[in-house]
Chain A
Amino acid sequence: MNSRLSGRASLALVRTMTAGVALAALAAFPAPAWAGKVFVTNERDHTMTVLDSDSLNIIETIKTGRRPRGVTASPDGKLIYVCASDDDRVEVYDANDYRLVKTLPSGPDPELFVLHPSGNPLYIANEDDALVTIVNTETGQVEGEIPVGVEPEGMGISPDGKLLVNTSETTSMAHFIDTQTKQIVENVLVDSRPRVATFTPDGKHTWVSAEVGGTVSVIDNATHQVVKKLTFSIPGVNEEAIQPVGIRITDDGKTAFVALGPANRVAVVDVPTYETKAYLLVGQRVWQMAFSPDKKTLYTTNGNSNDVSVIDVDSLKVKKSVAVGRSPWGVVAIP
C-alpha cells in the first residue's frame, strides 16, 4: 500500500517536474514571432510564389492568370492584388488560404497599379491603352479612366492619397493627377522610359526612375520641377547596363534603394545628400522591390536569375538569394 502510494506520488512529482521543465523551456526559448509572408509574381510561370519571411522557404505556389506582374496588398494585409497582364484583369487572392477571392476589371494589359492608402480605390496603369483605370475594390466597378501618355507603367500615390503620379514609358513623362478631380494637373518630362514613381514619406518629392535614361529624377510635388537627377556609375559595369527600375524609400526618408536592372545591383542612396552610398550585388536583372512590414528587410525580384535577394536594411548587406519561379517580377510582403 505504502509503496503504491509512494509510486503514485513519485509519478505525480515526475509529471509536475516535466510540466515545469516544459514551461521553463518555453520561457527560455520563446516561440518565434509569427512569420510573415512574401508574395512574388512569376511573369513567365503564370504563378505567384509565397515565401515564409523567416525561413525563406516556399510555402505555396499559386496558379494565377497569365503573365502576372504588379502585385500589392490591402492595408490590413488580408488581400493580395495581382495584375494578370495577358488576361486583362486584376486578381484578388486571400493571403491566408491563397484562394482567388474575386477578379476586378482592369482595362487591357494592366502592368502596375497602386492602392489608395485607405485600401480603395485601385489605380491601374493600362500599358496598351494609354489609360489609368480607377477601380472600386469593394464593388468591382470602374469609377473612371484618365487618359495619360503612351505606355503608362509606374504608379505612385502620395501618403495622404490626394496626388497620384503615373509614368508613361514612351512619352517619357510623369503625369501628376489630382485624385479628387481625376484630372492631370501637370506633366513633367523625365528621362527616357520612366518605369516607377515613388513618393518620399513626407510627400514632398516624387522619385521617378528612367530605365533607358539611366537616371532617377527627383520632382518637387509643389512646383513640379525636377530638383535633382541621380546618375549611377559602377566600376566594371557598362553604363548601358545601368537601368533604374524599382525604387523604395525608408520610412524615415533617409535612405532610398534603387534597383538597377541588368547591372544586377541595388543602389543605396543617402536621400539628404543624394549621394550613392553603396551598390549591393543581387541577382540578374533586378526589377521591383518591397520592404518587409517592419521595414528591416528589402526583397528584390531578379528576373533573369529567377530568384529573390534579401537585403538587410540596417547593415546594407545582401543576406541571401532564394530561387522562386521563372522571371520573378513583382513582390509584396505582409505581416
Chain B
Amino acid sequence: MTIATTAPGVERRITAGGYLVCLGGIVWRESLRFLHQRGRFLSALVRPLVWLFIFAAGFRATLGVSIIPPYETYVLYEVYIAPGLIAMIQLFNGLQSSLSMVYDREVGAMRILLVSPYPRWFLLVSKLVAGIAVSLLQVYAFLLVAYFWDVQPDDPIGYLTVLPALILTGFMLGAMGLAMSSVFKQLENFASVMNFVIFPMFFASSALYPLWRVQQASIPLYEICRYNPFTSAVELIRFALYRQIDWTSLAVVAGCSVVFLAAAIFAYDPSTGLTSRRGGPDAGK
C-alpha cells in the first residue's frame, strides 16, 4: 500500500513502511532520551513513591469508612491513591514530552522533524505514541515497587487489564500536553504549567480523596472534581486495575483525547496553526 503526498514542487511517494520507520525513529529517539536522562527516570519514579511512602503513610488510618466501587472491601489509603499516582505519572510525562517539544523548537531539532515529508498530524501522533511508551515504562516500574509495598490489585490479571486504560489515559494527557506545548515559547514556562495545570488538575480530582469526601467538604469543589477529565483518567485506571470498565470515564477520556489531539493538530498546522503566530519554527516563513 502506498500513499501519495504532495510536497511543494516535488512529487513524493511514501510507503506504509516509511511511516513505520518514521514512527519507530521518533519512539526510539524519545525512549533513548528518556533512558539517558537518568534523573528524569528517577524523578518520574521517586515523585509518586514519595506520595505513596510518606504522604499516604500519614493518612493510612483516615480512610476505610466506606466501600466504594470498584473495591469490594476496605482498602488502605495507599491502595486507594495508587491509581491517582499512576495518572500523575502520566500527567507529568505528558507535559514533559510537551516540554521536550518546546526544547526541540529551541535547539532546532524540531525543524529537522518538520521538514520531513510525513504529514504533520502523523509526526504529532508518533510523538504521542513515543510519550505513551515512556509513560508505560514509568508506570510499570512504579507498580513493581508498589507491589513490594503490598499495594496490589485484588487479582494479578489487573496488571494486564490496566494496560489498555493506561494507553488511553496516556494518549489523553499526552495530547493535552501537545496542544498546550504549541502555546509555550520557552522552557521556563514549565513552572507555570506546574502551577496552573498539573497541581489544580491533580488536587481537584479523585486521585487523593474519594469524591464523596470532597462532596462533604464543598459542593462546588465536588462539581469541579467531577468534570475534571483527570478524575475520569484516575477512575478509568482504578476500575481497570480491578478488571472492570467504568464506561463514563472511558467515554470522557476517549472524547477528551480526540478533542485535545484535534487541537494539537490544528495548533501545529502551518497553514492554520498558532505556532507561526507565536514565534514557533514556522514564524519566519
* Residues of A participating in the B interface, judged by any CB pair closer than 8 Å: 235-237, 264, 281-284, 305, 309-310, 317-321
Contact = CB atoms under 8 A, between A and B. Distances in A.
B188 interface: no
A310 B67 CA distance: 14
Which one of A235, A236, A310, A319 has the greatest number of beta carbons of chain B within 10 Å? A236
A260 to B, nearest CB: 13
B61 A236 contact: yes
A309 B60 contact: no
A325 to B, nearest CB: 17
Which one of B60, B61, B65 has the greatest number of beta carbons of chain A within 10 Å? B61
Nearest to A321: B73
Given A236-B60, A237-B61, A264-B64, A283 B74 contact: yes
14 contacts: A236-B57, A237-B61, A281-B64, A281-B73, A281-B74, A284-B65, A305-B65, A310-B73, A318-B73, A319-B72, A319-B73, A320-B72, A321-B73, A321-B74
A264 B60 CA distance: 12
B245 interface: no
Contacts of B154: 317, 319
Contacts of B72: 319-321
B67 A321 contact: yes
Say whether chain B's binding surface is mostly helix, strand, loop, or mixed.
loop
Contacts of A282: 73-74
A309 B64 contact: no
B76 interface: yes
Nearest to A283: B74
A285 to B, nearest CB: 12
B73 A320 contact: yes
B75 interface: yes
Contacts of B65: 284, 305
A309 B74 CA distance: 9
Q: Which 9 A-B pairs have the closest CB atoms?
A: A321-B73, A320-B72, A236-B60, A318-B73, A236-B61, A281-B74, A320-B73, A281-B76, A321-B67
A284 B65 CA distance: 8
A115 to B, nearest CB: 31
B152 to A, nearest CB: 9
B72 to A, nearest CB: 4
A264 B74 contact: yes
Interface string B47-72: 00000000001001100110100001
A309 B73 contact: yes
Contacts of A284: 64-65
